[in-house]
Amino acid sequence: DIVLLNQSYVSRQDAKVDIEDRGYQFGDGIYEVIRVYGGQVFLMDQHLERLKRSAAEIQLKLSLSLPELRQRLLDLVERTDLAEGMIYVQLTRGVAPRYHGFPTPEVEAQLVAYTKRMERPLKQQHEGVKAALVDDIRWLRCDIKTVNLLPNVLAKQKATENGAFEAIQHRNGTVTEGSSSNVFMVKQGVLYTHPATNLILNGITRQYIIDLCTKLNFTLHEQTFSVNDLLQADEVFITSTTSEIIPIVQVDEQTIGNGQRGQITQELQQAFDQQISKLRQS
Ligand code: PLP
């Protein structure tokens, strides 16, 4: 398999990380996961804009322009002959002797990108999955898509140990988001999701679903809701680049709604599917 490493395309076994890479030592880096359907990259510009924002927020200088990066990622999709799957792209603050402050003199950011074949999680999208509630123990800049994912790792592991597909995090009883997804709930025909503040990652899928809601004339409030609201919801679903829209039919021991995918969730999934079909045909 071919991997993009800074300026070059190299084979997977030749792509090595230096032991003093700041991503490796400090989690000092950012990333994106971008979906590919039928060889077409989905929402590429939105992902690249978010990557640029993440870079700016951690004062990381991109070593190339967004159009250049865009072209390299498109090349990578072609070179790896990717039809169905995802692109992972990561930038770290480079390789320098270990010291917490930024390297002086400055060093080049390290860029890595690779692709991975992947099917859509159709079974989970149809049947729904279980989620587990966990305390949100993360820092106060969850809006930055950093590779510093230890709290997310621990949350997901807790979910797995409880037989759940995803963790739903909450801060003092307010639902924030999943370990790697955003959370929506439906109550009496109205949708709710946490506002795009510093306490969540503003998911590209989240934003896409909010736009779909406008198109479908659904009422959606970007408003916080409590764990109790979540447990009493008619429908709950998570969104992410790889999950798309997956219904949550159980939270811990509580069944959500009638324990099956809800009506509004299903309509959003259908609208999402239509967009993907269009992209495949383009
Ligand atoms: N929230 C967190 C913490 C995430 O890690 C992710 C994606 O991995 C999301 C939300 C969903 O974001 P997106 O829809 O851009 O994939």
Domains and CATH numbers, the chain: 2-117 (3.30.470.10), 122-281 (3.20.10.10)
Whether residue 235 has its Cβ less than 6 Å from ligand 1: no
Instruction: Give the integer Cα–Cα distance in Å for 156 and 169.
Output: 10
With a CB cutoff of 8 Å and minimum separation 6, the contacts of 22 are 28, 29, 92, 93, 94, 95, 96, 103
Mutational test site, ligand 1, from 156, 180, 210, 238, max ligand atoms within 8 Å of CB: 180
pLDDT at 63: 86
pLDDT at 280: 94
CB count within 10 Å of CB 50 equals: 21
Q: What is the 8-class DSSP label of residue 108?
A: P
Cα-to-centroid distance, 201 and ligand 1 (Å): 6
**0.90 surpassed by pTM:** yes
**Phi, then psi, of 248 in degrees rounded to 5:** -100, 115
Whether residue 177 has its Cβ less than 6 Å from ligand 1: yes
Return the residue whose CA atom lies nearest to atom 5 of ligand 1.
180
Mutational test site, ligand 1, from 152, 177, 240, 272, max ligand atoms within 8 Å of CB: 240
Instruction: Give the integer Cα–Cα distance in Å for 100 and 50.
Output: 25
Whether residue 203 has its Cβ less than 6 Å from ligand 1: yes
Question: 183 and 168 in contact (C-beta within 8 Å)?
Answer: yes
Return the residue whose CA atom lies nearest to atom 10 of ligand 1.
181
Q: Which atom of ligand 1 is nearest the CA belonging to 152? A: 3
Q: Show the DSSP H helices in 42-182 as ranges.
A: 44-57, 66-79, 122-127, 150-161
pLDDT at 231: 98
Nearest to 48 by CA among 18, 87, 92: 87
Whether residue 243 has its Cβ less than 6 Å from ligand 1: no
Cα-to-centroid distance, 242 and ligand 1 (Å): 9
Mark whether 61 is an active-site residue. no
With a CB cutoff of 8 Å and minimum separation 6, the contacts of 59 are 102
The interface pTM score, or ipTM, of the predicted complex is 0.99
With a CB cutoff of 8 Å and minimum separation 6, the contacts of 14 are none
Give me the tens of pLDDT residue by residue for the chain, a chain 282 residues long. Answer: 899 999 999 999 999 999 999 999 999 999 999 999 999 999 999 999 999 999 999 999 998 999 999 999 999 999 999 999 999 999 999 999 999 999 999 999 999 999 999 999 999 999 999 999 999 999 999 999 999 999 999 999 999 999 999 999 999 999 999 999 999 999 999 999 999 999 999 999 999 999 999 999 999 999 999 999 999 999 999 999 999 999 999 999 999 999 999 999 999 999 999 999 999 998
33 φψ region: left (φ > 0), alpha (ψ -120 to 50), beta (else): beta
Instruction: Give the integer Cα–Cα distance in Å for 196 and 207.
Output: 9
Q: Which atom of ligand 1 is nearest the CA belonging to 33? A: 16
Nearest to 238 by CA among 246, 228, 230: 246
pLDDT at 282: 87
Q: Choosing from 130, 145, 215, 278, which is the catalytic residue?
A: 145
Q: Measured between alpha carbons, how far is residue 202 from residues 4, 76, 156, 206 in Å?
A: 26, 26, 19, 7
Whether residue 193 has its Cβ less than 6 Å from ligand 1: no
